[in-house]
Structure formats: structure tokens, C-alpha cells
Amino acid sequence: WERLLETGAPGMGVAESRGGGGASLSDLVVVAEELGRAIAPVPLVEHMIAARLFSEADIVSGEAIATLALHPTDHSGMWRIVPAGAVADVVIGVDGADLVAVRNDSPGGGPRNHAAAPLANRNARVGERTVLGSAREFDHALAEWKTVTAGALVGIAAQALDIAVDYVMSRHQFGVPIGSFQAVQQGLADLPIHIEGGRLLTYKAAWAGDRGTPGFTDADDCNVTDFAALASMAFVFVADAAAHATDRSLHYHGGYGFAEEYDIQLFYRRARGWALVYDDPSREAVRLADRLFARSN
Amino acid sequence: WERLLETGAPGMGVAESRGGGGASLSDLVVVAEELGRAIAPVPLVEHMIAARLFSEADIVSGEAIATLALHPTDHSGMWRIVPAGAVADVVIGVDGADLVAVRNDSPGGGPRNHAAAPLANRNARVGERTVLGSAREFDHALAEWKTVTAGALVGIAAQALDIAVDYVMSRHQFGVPIGSFQAVQQGLADLPIHIEGGRLLTYKAAWAGDRGTPGFTDADDCNVTDFAALASMAFVFVADAAAHATDRSLHYHGGYGFAEEYDIQLFYRRARGWALVYDDPSREAVRLADRLFARSN
Amino acid sequence: MDFALPPHVEAYRDEIRRVVAESVTPEIIDRQHSSGTFNSYELNRAMAKAGLLERAVPGLGKGDPIELWMLFHELEKLQAPYDSISVSLMVAGVINAVGTEWQKEQVIPSVLTGEGLVCMGYSEPDFGSDVASIATRAVRDGDEWVINGAKMWTTMAHEAKWLILLTRTNLEVPKHKGLTMFVLPMDTPGITVEPVPTMGTERTNATFYDNVRVGHEWVLGGVDEGWRVMGVALAYERGVMGGTSVAVPLLRHFHEWAEQVGLADDPIARERMARVAIDCEVAKLLTQRCAWIAATGGLPGLEGSMTKVFATEAYQKASRWFQQMAGPQGLLQFHEPGAAADGWIEYDARHCPVTTIYGGTSEINRNNIAERHLGLPKARR
Amino acid sequence: MDFALPPHVEAYRDEIRRVVAESVTPEIIDRQHSSGTFNSYELNRAMAKAGLLERAVPGLGKGDPIELWMLFHELEKLQAPYDSISVSLMVAGVINAVGTEWQKEQVIPSVLTGEGLVCMGYSEPDFGSDVASIATRAVRDGDEWVINGAKMWTTMAHEAKWLILLTRTNLEVPKHKGLTMFVLPMDTPGITVEPVPTMGTERTNATFYDNVRVGHEWVLGGVDEGWRVMGVALAYERGVMGGTSVAVPLLRHFHEWAEQVGLADDPIARERMARVAIDCEVAKLLTQRCAWIAATGGLPGLEGSMTKVFATEAYQKASRWFQQMAGPQGLLQFHEPGAAADGWIEYDARHCPVTTIYGGTSEINRNNIAERHLGLPKARR
């Protein structure tokens, strides 16, 4: 995190007028892909978007870590399973009818989890509380989060593919690289399709977010330019693509994929962890349907 | 059909005391698999089960063709898209609260359809009508139909696999049989697993039907011996297996799979037609869930 | 990356929609399915008259390559019978790229009227994926060539004015180096056409070549250069010349029908419709990328392979889902009472399997991707 | 075909359940996951005491082979730590089939106490799927053999009393004809064990063999007969010795948790639970078939391959579905507040990928099926 501070990455998505780097959402997606390639255990995705919502100086600079609670508080005023919740100084999320930023002590630790990520539950009603707007205003930040997370997941998938290609070229069985077996080749050949398709979709979502004008949701005509719909599409498609790419890469490592000394198992776990901390892609697809296809009842 | 009459197949499933062959449901499944292998365009599956419900002499002998309406009548008293509806003399099905057998003129033809099957709509309220019992009594016949249809679909899938193996061994590209390519081998290797697994499941459903005693539905303990649940399982699993097997066999035929002079396209179409005339396997899976997993609301 | 359409492409798109609305009647679509001939001269002529065709020949330079993509994206979404004009424009592009001036004069204006269709003779009864091994022979005889052999899957041969024909001209060199492409008139003596009906409704043909004599001026792209010429054609074909938006009208048909029958509120149906919509968007973006590459002077061969594999397999998945969800009604054919989406659901179930075969099977395309994109060794097939 | 359990198998099953209920406490299951050692001597001894183990050695003839299947089906459903006793009983069966009387006396009674566990040394760092190429050498020296080399994935080597070890003894013949299997005590001088932690919690090991000297009497199944011995072991392993019912407890965990949190009424969840239940039933039937074949004197090698591919891939699909449906709660590990099914959903997501690797990858098993069941030519890999 310290090294990121020097690069200005934490506040890069904040307008220059508010002391930030003035970067577009499309820029953040590019940064997130690199982050995903490195499966860097830093809460940069959440922070970059939180900083756009709540641009206090120490957040823009990154001295204070901010994050997003992806789901509203429960009945007791707790945000559950907040990404970066274990380390964040400020949490932004929905509490009842309000979108609030809450500054209180970070717990420093949280539940052990699949991605070894700094998740934690956070209290929305303790500490310094700032109302940023109504709950609905969080929708845009959530679409930004889905888009930038999709970028990070593209990075995970792309790196997992590169690792797999290196491995199957260097690992020999039956006297040849296992990458010369058609079964392996056909299995790997799908991955770049999904990765490159997912990247284009993520870029388009970011483009729609940057454009800032209302778009179309006409799926019957394959004419979708609405930011929220595209962000949701990118999240669903790339979450599945990253899960699949890391699964295949792990598989083609044979037993070595499971050994903790090989990195691929971390890619496998983070591909799942970074997506599911929000939700099941299938449930997101059902919500997407509500946006694309009006309900008749 | 004339040749089937001589074999006694139409009434084989009827008790000997009622003039039939006294065959068990397990026997009917074996016959149905052969029928499926030949993709025989005869309404034997429906007739064999209908004859068990309504054992009039000309039905047991097969001189009159009987069939099952798989769905209840609509508001106008019509059974829609009845298998063998175009040729059957007698239709058995649910009309309101009753299970009825209706004897009236067969239309001789029906809508053009995927499987080139003799489907037709039939009127439940015209002609000679016999009340066989309450609507709920049809459930058992429907489970029998699912089981025997699963047998027929196992036959379609098994024959499609045999045809595929013959084809990929005789078709040469790049100087070798295409069956020597690992991509083809790996794709075909799944088929016998699903076919043999589906056959075992169908046999078990038939065994449960023949046993006639109530069974378990404890999926949490993998202890399912209930006939209706097993019949539903067999239908879902085998419908998907047959769709997949015929799809792969067609695919490995290359362009020739589409030429009408090759039989494989008929297997492809009938694998879909013989299953979907009842319903979507996914919807059947949801109904199965209601049987296996109690609803909490 | 700017995903907005430039104004001239939007105008072009609107013009396509206008022309299709005026020229493609329900009767024309019915005729396509009853005859098996996926072509409409009414549409072709109307597009020619509106100046749409000359802008859509790849590499001709009359229009932005983005327009080419837009043309087939729109025609496919509108389910216009575009298959044969697509092939014809693609071949016109190949002739423009590698043909002689004389060949260009012969063929391209003919194609641009919408009347002079072109069919392709690559595959043979014994050589499909392994097209480098084809056996149809062309033997030089002075200023002429004499061609003997047989081709399979020569779709539109019964209507086409022109044919491009892959032949073997050299037995002394490795297989793919001994091939020569010809372009020739279909009425050249010695060519016979036999229909091959298919389960997908579309009629294709077997064609036979019995001492067909053509002048040397019909050699396309040079003697023994046939493999290279076919590569150009495949890069056009797998990229932007149609076939990658075919799930869009299927989704529209299913969605509209599901609304009518009350299925559209079913959560499983909703999830699947959303996933198909996502796949359609990704297929569109992958296709658009091919167009961008073409627009900047590249030849999107590998990107075209990726697009084709994705779009055709997504289409098959969508077709399977929708036919299953339609249940018995998904079995009924065009215009039968009660048929799901008036029969389109059933039609797509018969049509979709061929799409992972023609223009290169999914296996061949995956081999390409593995070897050329991932850098894996030539497969030990 | 009679799918009813014979009364003696039902009685055996009830006995297994009683023993597990009495000997496998939640603490034992926790210890398994905290230590990575998937073994419980408490359970092993209790099973030995109840006479369950001697009935479950394949081919020993003390019990119906159906009981063998039933034992592991029940242990797996109950999530008892059965992995190492399974391997041990399987090896006892191999020794019973191909070993000398002296070897049987040494090893089998030891296994049957539940104390003398066996580990397997086949794979090496450089040879996994290609096990026929292994390099660990055994060289004859009078009445002794001297073994040098290294093995990978020697799970339970840190606890086991016995080891079966595949070595190369002949360099003059084709690879798979020059292999010899040994059975030897793990405390033989020269063997060292290094732990290899895995993401699936389970600890495995690398083992090293430095001038390990054993007498000729420890050769198992004959010199240069190692490939055949391994075939016997694999046929046992892939069939009925566990690993094919693993989705059952996962379904139970998900179902119970989904009821608690109100997810069990979601139609998508219901469809998937039903499909997993179907897959569990099919996996059970395929396993039962292996048991029937074994019961009639056959060796269900191919059927075991089919069962393993199906059951492990179905388990992976179930794990993926259930973890996704559990959302954030599916990420939390054992005993964390809010964890889906108290952490089992997360655990299975980490555990399931290995199942299509060990005991033969899905690719290798599919090759077997293609070549030996479908009769396709040896793959041009």
C-alpha cells in the first residue's frame, strides 16, 4: 500500500479539482487489470471508487483507507462481510434510506476466508458518520465497483492463462510438453476468447460510465449502452470467465496446482473471492434481466 | 405397427389376466431401448402404458392404438400436442378432476414438428368417454411414461454413439481416421458414461415401479427409492444425455450430419422431440425438487 | 476505446433498416424456408440501388470496414436472407485483393448489382477440415486449364453466376503449396449441380467438374497460390461477414413469445435470457473488434476464429435453452398453431448445429487459437 | 436388476453408522482439517473392533464386495476421515491378490487392526500421468535390492507403517515392462519425508529414497510386473473405494443451510439441488455397478474410470453452483460466524479440484474409455 501511495493510485479516480488524478473509469479498469494480474492483496479497487464518492484529503492521498460495503446494513446496523473491512478506516455504504460514510477504528482482522482477503463486518452507527446522499445514489458506485472488479478479474484470468501456457510448455509427460496434447490445447483455447471478450465488455461498461449519458437497454436488438446494465453484464461474464480460467489453469498443473508453493491456487481462490464478495453471478443475471426485460407482472 | 402386432408388443405390459403379456415395467424399458435404437416412428411407448390403464381387447391386441395426453385439457376441453395424437383411436388423460379414456376419430395428421412425430391436438369431450378414476391416478401412468421414455432415449443415445464411433473410424482426414484425434476422443468418451449411468437410473426407476411399495425420497442421504422421484430423475438425466449424445454424434459427422440422407439428423431431432413433448427437463427438475426437498413456505 | 458509432455508420445502419423494411416481406422469409434457397434478389437489388453493396466489399475502399460489419449485423438481426449476398461480397473482396484488373471488371460490378452471386467450391466429399488435401485437379493445356473433380457443400451453386474453385495444380510440393484458386462462370460447360437437402432447411449442393476448360485468365491470385487466397477469404468470412449475431433474433423471438405465454417471469427463464443477452453483447464486441482491425488495415484471421467459436457455440446454447423451455411448443414448425415464436424456436434448433461446422469447425478454430495465439506446439493430433 | 440391498448389507450399513456415530466426534473432524491428516485412529480401531475392516478388503473373501462399496459410501456421506484407511484396505487387497503368503502375513493383519496404514509411492516430481516413465531405480544386489529416487504426492507417508513403491528395475525393455512394485516398512533406513501443504487442507508429502536396502521378499507381484500390480490397484481405487459419493454431504450441507437462510425456495437453487441429487444417484449407481462386477469376480477397471470421471466432475459442478449461490457467505471458512454450512461450502470449493487429478486425471481416464471401451485407435496425443 505504501508503494501505491507514491504512485498516486489511491486517488487517481478523483477529479483534479478535488485533489485527485482526474482519471476516468476506463483508466481505473486498466489499473485494476494489472492489480488482478499481480493478485495484489491491496484494497485498491474499493478505495479508488470510495474516493470518488467521498473525497476527503486523507482518502484521496490514500493515508486513510476507504472501502465500500456492497450490501446494506442488517437490522443491527452492521455491514456484513465488507471487502477490505478488516483494514479500512472509512466505510461507505447504504444504511437504511441513506448513503453514508462512516469513519471508525478498523478491526485489523476478520474471518478466515477463501481468498485470504481482509473481509470484516463493520458497524455503520459507530464513529464519525457523514451522510452522502440517498441510498439510491449508491447504485452508480456499485456499477463502478462491478466494472472495475471485472477489470481486476480479467487480469486474474489473463495471468492464469499465461501461467498455464508457461506450465504446459515446460512440463513434459510422455516425452513431450503436455501443451502439445490436443486435449490440453482445446481446453486452453477457450480461455483467450472469454478473456478478450470479457475485456471488451468491461471496457464498454467503463466507456458507458465515463460517458455519463443515459443509454439503451434494448437487448432484443443487441443495443445496450446503459452503464448499469453493461456493468452487470461485465460482472457476470467475467466472474464466470475468471472462475473457469483459473480452474483450467489449476487443472493443467496436475497435482502441483494444489501445492501451496505454486501461485496458481491463489489465482483460483481470488478469482472466486473477489467476485463472490458481492454475489452469485446467476443472481446478478436475474437482476440484469429486470433491467433488460420489463416484468409483465 | 403391423409387425409389432404380431410380436404382441402393444399389450405386453398388460396383466395376463386381462389378456396381456404380463410384462413388467422393467421389460417395457428394455423394449423401449430397442425402439429408440431404431428411432422407430411407432407410438409404442404411449400405447404400452395406455394399455395398462385401459385394457380393452382391441387395445391389448393393438388393433386400436391408444395414447396418453401428457398434460390436462385446456379450458376448451382440448388436449394439446398429444404424442401419437394424429394416429391414436383412444386417448387417455386428465380432463378436469377425472382421468378419462376417450375414443373418437383420429385426425390422421397433425402439425409439422421437430421429430416428424404424429402429434396432434385431441378433443376430450367428443366420442365415447370412459372415466377411469380421479385425475391424481394419472400420476402413476405419467411416471411410467417418463421411465419408459427414458428407456427409449437411452436407446437413441446409445445408437447415436455407435453411429458416431463407426463414422469417426471410417472418416479419414489428415491421413488418419478422425477418431484418432484426441479432441474427438475426449468428446466421445463422455457419452458412454452418461448413457450407462442413465440406463442404470432408468432400470432403477422401473425396478421401483415394479416393486410397487412406497420408497424413500431422502436425497440428503442419497437414499431415493420412490418411483415418482426416480422416474423424474431418469427423465431429466436421460433427456439431457440423449440431447448431448446426438448433438456430439451429429457434430463429429461434420457437414454430412446435416444431409438428410444421413440418419444421424433423425436421431438428433427425435432425441429432442420424444422428451420435450412432455416438458423442459429443467422444469421437471424443479418439480423433482418439490418431491425431494420439502418447501418451507 | 470509443464504442459509440460514428454518425456516418449510424446513417448507414438506418439506411439498411429502411431498405430491409421495404424489400423483405414475410412472404420472402417464408419462401426462403420453403425453397431452402437463402437469397432474395428483391433485397439484393434494393441494397444495390441504395448503394449499400459497394460500400460493403471488404477492402474496396468505398466504405468504412465498420460498415461491412454493421451491414451483416443488421441483416442478421432482421433475419433477412443475406447468406448468398454475404458470400458474394466476400469473394468480391478477395478478387479485389488478389485478382487481376480484368477479373475485377468481370466479377465485381456483377456482384454489386445484387444479381451476380458467387458460390464457393473448397470442400470435397473426402476432404472437409483437411481441405489442403483436396483432389480436384486442374491441368494446364496451353493457355487453358482442364478441371476434373467433385466438390461438396457448394451452397447456392444452383443460382450463382460465379464460382471460386480450389484445385490441385502441383503434385510435386507439400499439399497446401500445390493448390490454385480459379474464379469462373457457373455456365462454363462441364459443371453439373446436384441438390443436397439438409435438416436445417437450407439447400446445398454437390457439384461435379467434367473436363471443364477455362482460360488462364481465370486463375485467381496466381498458380499454386490457392492456400494464401483461401486464407484471405477465411479471414473475411470468420470475422465480420455475418453469422455472429444470429442469437439476437432468437432471443427476441423467445422473449416476445415468453411474454405472451407468461413464461417471461420465470426466474430460470430470466436468468437464461440475461445470459444470452450477455453472450450476444460479447459476440457483437468480438465482431466489432474484427471490424476495427480491418479498418486499420489488418486481417483479423485469429480474431475471426475466436469470434466464430464464441458466437456459434453461444447460439447453440441459447437454442438448446430456449427450445427446452418452450417444451412441446418448441417442437412445432413455422406457422403451426401454438408453435413457440411461430416456429422460430424449432427452426433454430435445426439450424444451429451446422454453424460450428461450416467455415471451419470449432475444433479447427481452437487448434488455430492454441497454436497461433497461445503459441503452443503444433498439436499432436 | 434388483436394486434392493440384501439384508446382510443393510445390517452392515447400520453397523457402520453406529460405529461412526460412536467414534467420529466433531473434534475429530476439526482435527482432520487443522492438521491436514485425513485419518482417525479412533475410527479405524472402532471399525477394526466391530469386524468391519476384514470384511472390506477387496478379494479377501470375508465379506460381499457390495459391503466394500457400502463402507466407503457411508463413510463418505458421514464425512468420516476415511482416506487413509481406504488406501490401506485397497493395498491390502492388492497384496492379497498378488502378494506372497509371507507378505500377506506381514501386512494384512497390521492393516486390519486399523493401526498399520499404507501409503503409495507411484508418482514422481517429473512423472505424474506418465507414470510408466518413473525413474526411481531399484538395483538387485544379491538377495537385496537397493532403491534410490524420489516420489511425490506420498500422502500419509508421515503416519504410515507401510509403503508400496513403484520402481524401475529394467532399462532394456519398453518402459512399462521394466517396473517392479515393492511393499516395505516405512521405517526402513534411507527414507525421508517432507511435507507438502495443499490448498485443499490435506497434507501430502514428497518422499526421498537414499540407498534404501530391502530384501527380495519385499518384491510385490514379481520382478518387472509392477505395471500389472498397479493396474489391479487402480481398478480397486477408481471403483468402489470412496471418492464417488462426495457430493452427497455437500448437497446435504447446502440444503440444510439454504433452508435456514431462506434460499431453499429459490427456483434456481431448487433446480440445481435436484440436478445434484440426480448426479449423486447416478454416481451411486455407477459405483454400485463396479461393486456388482467385483462381486461376480470381475475387475471393474473401465467401469471405475467412468465412475470416477462422472462423480468427480459432478462434485466440482455442485461445488461451483453451491459456492456461487452462497455468495459472500460461501467464502467464509470453518466456524466463522455467518459461514455457509459452517464453512463446508468453502472447504469443498478448495477440495474439489484435486479430485479430477489424483488416481488418474480426467483426461487419462477419458483416453482409457475412448481406447478400451469405444475401441478408438490409440490417441495421437
**Cell 524401475 belongs to which residue?**
D168
Query: Among partner residues D268, D380, D381, which is closest to C268 by beta-carbon distance?
Result: D268
ipTM for this prediction: 0.96
Name the average pLDDT for chain A: 95
Residue-wise pLDDT for D330-344, tens only, equals: 999 999 999 999 999
How far is residue B270's CA from residue B116's CA, in Å, rounded to a whole number? 8
Are the beta carbons of C62 and C54 closer than 8 angstroms?
yes
Would the CB atoms of D366 and B185 count as touching at under 8 Å?
A: yes
* CB atoms near residue D308 (< 10 Å): 29
pLDDT score at B297: 44
- Chain D interface includes A78 (CB < 8 A): no
pLDDT score at D49: 95
Angstroms from A112 CA to nearest CA on chain C: 31
Query: Among partner residues C133, C328, C363, which is closest to B183 by beta-carbon distance?
Result: C363
Mutation target to probe the D interface, by most D beta carbons within 10 A, among B200, B237, B249, B295 is B200
Would the CB atoms of A183 and B183 count as touching at under 8 Å?
A: yes
| Mean pLDDT across A55-80 | 96
How far is residue B72's CA from residue D201's CA, in Å, rounded to a whole number? 53
D379, closest residue in chain C (CA to CA): C381
How distant, in Å, are the alpha carbons of C137, D138, D217 from that of D209? 64, 10, 19
Would the CB atoms of D268 and C267 count as touching at under 8 Å?
A: yes
Angstroms from B184 CA to nearest CA on chain A: 9
Are the beta carbons of D264 and D245 closer than 8 angstroms?
no
Would the CB atoms of B185 and D259 count as touching at under 8 Å?
A: no
Angstroms from B186 CA to nearest CA on chain A: 7
Using an 8 Å CB-CB cutoff, list chain C residues near B247.
316, 353
| Mean pLDDT across B149-154 | 98
pLDDT score at A297: 44
Which parts of chain C register pLDDT below 50?
A: 381
DSSP state, C362? H
Residue-wise pLDDT for C226-240, tens only, equals: 999 998 887 776 666
Nearest in space to A262 (alpha carbons), one of D125, C5, D245, C173: D125
| pLDDT higher than threshold 90 for residue B7 | no
| Mean pLDDT across B198-227 | 96
Using an 8 Å CB-CB cutoff, list chain C residues near D267.
266-268
Residue-wise pLDDT for A230-244, tens only, equals: 999 999 999 999 999
Residues 268 through 287 of chain D touching chain C, CB cutoff 8 Å: 268, 271
Residue-wise pLDDT for A172-184, tens only, equals: 988 899 999 999 9
Q: Name which of A188-202, B159-173, C352-366 the model is least confident about.
A: C352-366
CA–CA–CA angle D170, D176, D178 (5° rounding): 10
User: Quick one: pLDDT band at residue B89, thresholds 50, 70, 90?
Assistant: very high
Sign of CA pseudo-dihedral D131, D136, D141, D144: negative
Beta B66-68 vs B90-95: how paired, if at all? parallel
User: Quick one: pLDDT band at residue D243, thresholds 50, 70, 90?
Assistant: confident
pLDDT score at B251: 97
State percent of chain D over pLDDT 70: 98
| Mean pLDDT across B169-177 | 91
Residue-wise pLDDT for D8-61, tens only, equals: 999 999 999 999 999 999 999 999 998 999 999 999 999 999 999 988 887 787
**What pTM was estimated for this model as a whole?**
0.96
pLDDT score at D380: 54
Using an 8 Å CB-CB cutoff, list chain B residues near C128.
173, 254-255
Would the CB atoms of C324 and B251 count as touching at under 8 Å?
A: no
- Radius of gyration, alpha carbons of chain A: 20
Would the CB atoms of A113 and D381 count as touching at under 8 Å?
A: no
C246, closest residue in chain A (CA to CA): A222
Residues 222 through 251 of chain A touching chain D, CB cutoff 8 Å: 243, 247, 250-251
Would the CB atoms of A222 and C281 count as touching at under 8 Å?
A: yes
| pLDDT higher than threshold 80 for residue B95 | yes
Name the average pLDDT for chain D: 93
Would the CB atoms of C126 and B172 count as touching at under 8 Å?
A: yes
C269, closest residue in chain D (CA to CA): D268
Would the CB atoms of D357 and A254 count as touching at under 8 Å?
A: yes
Which distant-in-sequence residues (6+ apart) come within 8 Å of B204 by Cβ?
A: B230, B234, D1, D3, D281, D285
3-class secondary-structure state, position C8: helix
Angstroms from A279 CA to nearest CA on chain D: 5
- Chain D interface includes B198 (CB < 8 A): yes
| pLDDT higher than threshold 50 for residue D381 | no
pLDDT score at A295: 65
| pLDDT higher than threshold 70 for residue D238 | no
- Chain C interface includes D189 (CB < 8 A): no
